[in-house]
Amino acid sequence: MAGTALLGRLTWQLAELVEVVAETPRVKTLVFDVPGWPGHRAGQHVDVRLTAEDGYQAERSYSIASAPDETRVALTIQRLEDGEVSPYLTDELRPGDKIELRGPIGGYFVWEPSDGGPLMLVAGGSGIVPLMAMIRTRAATGNDAETRLLYSARSRDDLIYRDELERVNGNGLTVVYTLTDSQPPEWTSYARRVDARMLAEVAPRPAEQPRFFACGPTPFVEAVAEALVQLGHDARAIKTERFGPTGG
Amino acid sequence: MGELMLDGNAVAGLLQEVFAVEMTTAVGTCASCGAAGPVGAVHVYRGAGIVLRCPHCDNVLAKIVKSDSRVWIDSTGIRTLEVTV
């Protein structure tokens, strides 16, 4: 679907918060109802705009976490202490409240069920969000593309969507965790930052021509992309999305 | 510097606002090294303005400055841009 160009200017529209799900102590999923939502593809994002009483505006981009579902759009948002936007979204916004958003946006960091697999997803922290949209879209469409997720987080409590990932693990989807800072007792999986050796063990071989989607903080994504090229994977098959420090 | 680098996905909304078409899948060719690749994969630096750099040779592809009512784009570093319409 490389040729999918969505013609039309982006317009801001009102979205009503309908549900809040606490994912981790610092992360919440906000489900919005967006009248007239045209649908989206896994990996796309929205821009959110907040306007203060004095007219000051702040804009941020957030990945869509949900599979396409009529006019519902779920955003999973990490609260950043010094953030300008995320503390308001995660602490102040209540069901029934409205915000402005526009989207869906993006087409490069996108997976369509018809693209097939094998699919190798590599997530650092809240970089799991657009990859979860891919996992959910795969499940919702009954797609059987062989999919592996390597998910790096600081600790078990920082794993977003942990219960859901446990449930969907299987049926061609393999979930592998690495916990970099602290591990629960009897932790048997990885306990270090993602490196070339780990990717060699978890990812399909280059001969299988996997499609890669890596998302996370910039240094994480850089390290993953470099390691994959070093392992002999085609750089053109590695799609990346970097989270910056200005995500707030 | 690495911490501040993002990629073309980060300016997808702004570019779509200007060009009225999804731009991260558009393929740009660097005027300096000749490498061609999707806009979504270029390196993006945000400061007072936005700078797009070639992921292969670091050449400045474009500079973008946005105010409330105007967007200014210097695209000297891009030789060609191929957009699906």
Q: In what order do the strands lie in the sheet with A147-153?
A: A173-179, A147-153, A119-124, A211-217, A238-243
- Distance between B76 CA and the closest CA of chain A, angstroms: 23
- In this prediction, residue B3 carries a pLDDT of 53
Q: Is B34 helix (H, G, I), strand (E, B) or coil?
A: coil
What average pLDDT does the segment A150-173 reach?
96
Q: Domains (ranges, CATH) in chain A?
A: 13-105 (2.40.30.10), 113-243 (3.40.50.80)
Q: Quick one: tokens of A57?
A: 């505006």
Contacts with A94 (C-beta within 8 Å, 6 or more apart), sequence order: A17
> Closest Cα of chain B to A142: distance in Å?
26
Over range A159-175, report the average pLDDT.
95
Cα dihedral: A228, A232, A238, A241 (round 10): 20
ipTM, interface predicted TM-score of the complex: 0.92
Q: Does B40 reach chain A within 8 Å, measured CB to CB?
A: yes
Domain interval for residue B7 = 2-82
The length of chain B is 85
User: For A99-132, what is each residue's pLDDT tens digit?
Assistant: 999 999 999 999 999 998 899 999 999 999 999 9
Q: Please give the pLDDT value at position A3.
A: 40
SS3 A86: helix
**Structural domains counted in chain B:** 1
Does this model's pTM top 0.90? Answer: yes
| Contacts B16 to A, Cβ<8 Å | 6, 9-10, 105
103-142 in chain A: CB under 8 A from chain B = 103, 105-109
Average pLDDT over residues A7-24: 91
- Phi and psi dihedrals of A65, rounded to 5? -95, -20
Helix and strand totals (H; E) in chain A: 5, 11
Which spans in A107-232 are helix H? 128-140, 162-168, 196-202, 218-230
Is pLDDT of A221 > 60? yes
Q: How many CB pairs under 8 A join A and B?
A: 91
B32-57 residue pLDDT tens: 999 999 999 999 999 889 999 999 99
C-beta atoms of A240 and B41 within 8 A: yes
